């Protein structure tokens, strides 16, 4: 087996405990535009980008004025009402430091909006440890489309079998799988194990993975 030389790190739910907060912000933004959706319906869709989530919930397509209002509304609700409460997942900084110590190439690969990503990296306390980013702002289609993972592979200059995805949703697993990349999944994003089928390993959170890093073929 080819050892993994690089890791694509998802952010929301994986390194920061933000999935509930994103769902609450989307519920508010949708209601502002007359789409009344429950938290329970929106929450399982966290991990997709807005370009995937909004059409699924409303039928409103990207490249429309209403989509822009919905996206801007989510960002506003999230940044003003939710961001100050976001905390790092247990062991997030320690895990990233150890991956760096082992000489692995690291890149953030997230469906998040580029402007929000930097603030969340600060909340995760890893902004100084990972210099490369691939976000929804860099690609045409966000997760579960493969675009973000493929863009990350290009930036890393690595083949798919040399790279591991670390994520917390079925959309991470699908995006990576469609790019030929294996995924290790974390439960701390809130997904039940059944939704994480397809991951090569499942751990509780970054701290749990840190303890079990030697289970993985890391180069």
Is a pLDDT exceeding 80 seen at residue 1?
no
Q: What confidence score (pLDDT) does residue 137 get?
A: 83
* Same domain? 81 vs 93: no
Q: What confidence score (pLDDT) does residue 32 get?
A: 98
Q: What confidence score (pLDDT) does residue 164 get?
A: 98
Q: What confidence score (pLDDT) does residue 94 get?
A: 98
* Same domain? 71 vs 119: no
Spatial separation of the C-alpha atoms in residues 108 and 116, rounded to whole Å: 13
Closest to 92 (Cα-Cα) out of 108, 76, 115, 81: 108
Which tens digits make up the pLDDT trace of 47-106?
Answer: 999 999 999 999 999 999 999 999 999 999 999 999 999 999 999 999 999 999 999 999
| Model confidence, pTM | 0.96
Percent of the residues in the chain that have a pLDDT greater than 90, as a whole number: 93
* Same domain? 60 vs 128: no
* Same domain? 178 vs 206: yes
Which tens digits make up the pLDDT trace of 150-183?
Answer: 999 999 999 999 999 999 999 999 999 999 999 9
* Same domain? 56 vs 107: no
CA atoms 34, 85, 40, 170: torsion sign: positive
> How many Å separate Cα 76 from the centre of its chain?
19
Enclosing domain of residue 180: 6-18+87-215
């Amino acid at each position: 087996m080819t050892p993994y030389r690089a890791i694509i790190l998802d952010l929301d739910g994986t390194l920061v405990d933000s999935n509930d907060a994103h769902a609450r912000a989307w519920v508010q933004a949708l209601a502002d535009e007359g789409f009344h959706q429950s938290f329970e319906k929106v929450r399982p869709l966290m991990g997709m980008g807005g370009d995937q989530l909004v059409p699924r919930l409303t039928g409103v397509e990207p490249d429309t004025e209403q989509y822009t209002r919905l996206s801007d509304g989510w960002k506003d609700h999230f940044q003003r009402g939710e961001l100050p409460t976001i905390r790092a997942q247990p062991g997030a900084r320690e895990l990233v430091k150890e991956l760096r110590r082992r000489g692995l190439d690291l890149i953030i690969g997230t469906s998040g909006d580029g402007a929000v990503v930097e603030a969340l990296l600060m909340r995760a306390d890893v902004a100084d440890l990972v210099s490369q980013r691939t976000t929804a702002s860099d690609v045409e289609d966000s997760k579960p489309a493969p675009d973000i993972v493929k863009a990350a592979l290009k930036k890393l200059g690595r083949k798919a079998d040399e790279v591991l995805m670390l994520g917390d949703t079925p959309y991470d697993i699908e995006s990576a799988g469609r790019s030929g990349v294996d995924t290790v999944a974390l439960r701390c994003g809130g997904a039940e194990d059944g939704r994480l089928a397809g991951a090569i390993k499942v751990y509780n959170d970054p701290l749990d993975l840190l303890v079990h890093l030697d289970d993985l073929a890391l180069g």
